[in-house]
Amino acid sequence: MSKITVTLPDNSQRKVEIGTTPGDIALSIGEGLFRNSIAAKINGNIVDLKKSITEDSIVQILTTRDPESHEILLHSTAHLLAMAVKELYPEAKIAIGPALSDRFYYDIDFPKFLSEEDLPEIEAKMKELAKSNFNVERQELTQKEALDKFSELDESYKMEIISELSSDEIITAYSQGEFIDLCRGPHIPSTGKLKYFKLLSTAGAYWRGDESNKMLQRIYGTAWFDKKDLKNFLFQIEEAKKRDHRKLGKQLKLFHFDEEVGPGLPLWLPNGTIIVDELEELAKKTEHKAGYKRVRTPHLTKGELYERSGHLSHYKDSMYPAMEMDGFDYYVKPMNCPHHHKIYAAEPRSYRDLPLRLAEYGTCYRYEKSGQLFGLMRVRSMQMNDAHIYCTEEQFKDEFIAVCNMYMYYFEIFGIEKYQMRLSLHNKEGLGKKYVNEPELWLKTESAVREALIQGKFNFVEVPGEAAFYGPKIDVQVWSAIGREFTLATNQVDFAVPGKFDLTFTNSKGEDEIPLCIHRAPLSTHERFVGFLIEHFGGDFPLWLAPVQVIIIPISEKYFEYAQRVYNSLYDNEIRVDFDRRAEKVGAKIRDAELMKIPVMLIVGEKEQNSDTVSVRRKHQGDLGAISLEQLTIELSEEISNKDKGKRYDQSER
C-alpha cells in the first residue's frame, strides 16, 4: 500500500495512506478537533473534509475558528434553506444562493408570493432538516450528466447556468438527503453542524441582476457557529436601528419630509440647518486654504447646454422634464459641471491661470426612481459640495493627490477610521455606448489616476466597468462608527467634456490646449453626509456640530434673572445656547435635554448665583461640579474651534 506525506501547519509530518481525507487526519489528531472541523486547505485550496488526498501535500484543518469557515457555514445554510423550501413548496425552482460577508441569501422562483410571515415556517423546516443530520455528499458530473440530472428535477435556472459552463469542465453538485444543488463547494460535512441561524427578510431580486429578467424572490438569512455570535449579530442590527438617521432626524428635529412638498425633497429644520451650515463653513475654509475660488450658478438652464455636455443623452430619464419658455427648453440643473465649464470659458485662459479651482455649494435636482429614495441618503433635491479643477496634464497628478488628501483631512475631523477608494474603470464593451469612444485617452487617464493613488499611498481597489461616461472615477467608501459602509465622496476625471465645450488655455509656446477637469465632492451631498453623520455619531454630535450646544436649567423661577445673564454671556460669545424656562422640576428638564442629546447642561440655583458660577453636567459624563462662567466660556470656545470629536459611544442611549 503506497503512502504519502502530509505536512501540517506546525510543520509536523505524517505518513498516511493515499486517499486519506482531511477528516481522517483531524480525527487522528483528536476527537475535539474533528468535532470542530468544517473544511480543510490542501496546498492552499479550500476543500471538503471528505476530499481524498492523493499526493504529498500541505494540509490545514479549518475549524469553526477560521474565518474561511464562516463563509462555508453561510453557504451551507443557504443550501439548507433551499432544501427546506423544496420540501415545503416542491414546485419552487431554485436559482442562486451565495454567502455574503455575514449573511446569505437564496433566490427562488416561487409559485406563490412570499412574505415575512412565511419565514418562521421555513425556518422551522430548516431546523428539522438540520437535526436529521444528513451527510453532505459531493458529486462530480460531466456537463451532460448535470444537464440530465437538473432537467429531471425541472430546475431550469440551474440548467441555464450549467449550459454556460465549458463542456469539458467537471461540474460539481452537493446532495444532502433527497436534495441536490449545483455548487462549487466546499461545504460542511453534515447538516447537523448547522445550529445557529435565522432568516431575516424577503425581497424581490431579478434573475442574474438584470432588470429585463424575471423577478425572483430572495430570502436573506444569517448563520453562526456560536449562539453568542448569532445573538450579537442580531443585537447589532437592533443597535443600527436606534441610530437610523430617519428616526434620529425626527427625534432631534433635524429634517422633515412632507407629502405635499414631494418625495425625496427634504425640508431642513432649524436644527438640521445648523449642521449643514457648519459643514458648509468647514468646506469653504478648507477650500479657501487649498486655493479654490467660489462661484454661483443658476438652477435653471437651457437644454442646449446639456445636449452639448452629453448629459441629456445619458441621463434624460433621471432629469426633471423640460419647461418650455420663449421657444426654449429649460431644465432644472442635475449637476453643476456645465455651468462651471461656462465660467471657465467666460474669459481666455493662460497656462499661468491653471490650475483653476471653481467651487460651489450648488443645489441639483435629479428624478431618482421612486424605489431608490431612502431618507436623506437618496433624495431628489441635493446640495453638493462640488468643485471642478481645470488643470494641465502635468499638474493633474498633484491636483488629484491634493483632492484625496482633502478627504483624509475630513476623515480625521469626523473620526472616520476606515475608508477604501474604488477606482472605477471603463470596459471595452461600453466604448461608444456607456462611455465616450476614446480608447487611448481612457487608458492614459486611468493609468494617471492609478499612479496618483499609488504615489499618495491611498487604500484603493479597482473596479472595471463602473466609470462615469466621461472618464474614470474614484468613489470613496467609509465605515461608520458601528461598522456600516457608506459611499460618500466621489472624484471624477473628465477628459472628454472640456473638449466638447471648446475649453482651452494658451500654453507657454502660445498654442491652444484642452485642460483636464477633475470633478470632486469630498463631502458628498449635504443630505447624504448629514445622514451619515447622524448614524456615525448616533445623534451625539461633537460640540461644534451640535444644534444646541448648551442648555441652561435654572432650579426654579427665582434664578431666572441670573440664568438670563449666563444665557446672554454665552450667546454673545457665539455659543448656541437655550434656556429652559418651563415650570418643570430639574430632573424633568435634564431628562428632556438628555433626550435631545444636548452636550452641555448648566444647572443654576442659589449656590451658583451667589458665586457667579454654573454647575456643569455633560452628556455621558454626568455632574462635573461648579465652574466660573468665564472659565467655562473659554473651555467651550476652545473645544468648538478645535472641532474636538468628543467621545463616541458604542451603545446608543435610551
Q: For residue 132, state whether it binds RNA (rule: CB under 7 A).
A: no
107, 217 Cβ separation under 8 angstroms: yes
Where in 234-263 is the site for RNA (CB under 7 A)? 246, 250, 257, 259, 262-263
C-alpha 589/C-alpha 612 separation (Å) is: 22
Q: Using the rule CB under 7 A, is 89 a contact of RNA?
A: no
CB crowding 203-214: b at 16 or more within 10 Å, else e: eebebeeeeeee
> Binding marks (x or -) toward RNA, 527..566, rule CB under 7 A?
----------------------------xxxx--------
Considering only 7, 175, 273, 318, the residue that binds RNA (CB under 7 A) is 318
Distance CA 540, CA 242 (A): 12
* 612 makes contact with RNA (CB under 7 A): no
Binders of RNA among residues 447 to 506 (CB under 7 A) are 468-469, 473, 490, 492
Is 210 a residue that touches RNA (CB under 7 A)?
yes
By CB under 7 A, tell whether 114 contacts RNA. Answer: yes
Burial code (b: 16+ CB inside 10 Å, e: under 16) for 38-55 equals bbbbbeeebbbbbbebee
Give me the 361-380 binding string for RNA, x by CB under 7 A, dash otherwise.
-----xxxxxxxxxx--x--
Q: What's the CA gap between 329 and 150, in Å, rounded?
A: 56
Residue 644's CB: how many other CB atoms inside 10 A?
Answer: 13
Residue 141 or 240 with smaller CB distance to RNA: 240
Q: With respect to RNA, which residue has the nearer C-beta, 487 or 506?
A: 487
Cell numbers placing 136: 453532505
For 635, phi and psi rounded to 5 degrees? -65, -45
Nearer to RNA, 175 or 372 (CB): 372
Among 72, 603, 632, 636, binds RNA (CB under 7 A): 603
Contact pick of 47, 82, 129, 319 for RNA (by CB under 7 A): 319
Q: List the one residue from 152, 164, 178, 211 that touches RNA (CB under 7 A).
A: 211
Beta-sheet strand order (sheet of 293-294): 293-294, 356-365, 381-391, 516-521, 485-494, 473-479, 419-425, 460-464
DSSP annotation string for 402-430: HHHHHHHHHHHHHT---EEEEEEE--GGG
Pattern 169-208, RNA, x by CB under 7 A:
--------------------------------xxxxxx--
For RNA, which is the closer residue by CB, 539 or 542?
Answer: 539
**Alpha-carbon distances of 240 from 316, 481, 524, 607, rounded to whole Å:** 36, 10, 22, 42
Three cell numbers written together for 218? 430572495
Task: Establish if 623 lies at the interface with RNA (CB under 7 A).
Answer: yes
Q: In the complex, what is the shortest distance from the CB of residue 139 to RNA, in angstroms, rounded to a whole number?
A: 30
Binding-site member from 273, 594, 648, 652 for RNA (CB under 7 A): 594
Q: Which distant-in-sequence residues (6+ apart) come within 8 Å of 407 by Cβ? A: 419, 476, 489, 491, 522
Should residue 615 be labelled a site residue for RNA when binding is judged by CB under 7 A? Answer: yes
* Residue 125 sits in the site that holds RNA (CB under 7 A): no
Residue 539 grid cell: 445623534
Q: Give the strand pairing for 356-365 and 381-391.
A: antiparallel
Q: How many CB atoms lie within 10 A of CB 249?
A: 23
User: Which of 605, 627, 637, 652 forms a contact with RNA (CB under 7 A)?
Assistant: 605
Asked if 585 is part of the footprint of RNA (rule: CB under 7 A), the reply reads: yes
**Contact pick of 209, 327, 483, 510 for RNA (by CB under 7 A):** 209
Query: 572 burial class (0-12, 13-18, 19+ CB within 10 angstroms)?
Result: exposed
Nearer to RNA, 38 or 332 (CB): 332
Nearer to RNA, 202 or 445 (CB): 202
What's the min distance (Å) between Cβ of 471 and RNA? 9
With CB under 7 A as the rule, give the number of residues binding RNA: 77
Alpha-carbon distance 107 to 219, whole Å?
Answer: 7
Verify binding: residue 101, RNA, rule CB under 7 A.
no
The residue (of 134 and 365) whose beta carbon lies closer to RNA is 365
Of the pair 44, 625, the CB lying nearest RNA is at: 625
Q: CA distances (Å), 583 to each of 214, 462, 560, 595, 596, in order? A: 62, 61, 11, 18, 18
Nearer to RNA, 257 or 495 (CB): 257
**Beta carbon nearer to RNA, 42 or 312:** 312
Residue 586 lies near RNA (rule: CB under 7 A): yes
Kindly indicate which of the ranges 32-40, 308-316, 351-359, 440-448 contains the residues binding RNA, using the contact rule CB under 7 A: 308-316
Q: Smallest gap, in angstroms, from Cβ of residue 250 to RNA?
A: 6
Shortest separation between residue 198's beta carbon and RNA, angstroms: 14
What is the DSSP annotation of 115-151? -GGGHHHHHHHHHHHHHTTPBEEEEEE-HHHHHHHHH
Q: Which is nearer to RNA, 536 or 617 (CB)?
A: 617
Preceding amide of 498 cis, omega within 30: no
Q: 632: how many CB neighbours lie within 10 A of its CB?
A: 22
CB of 162 to RNA, least distance (A): 22
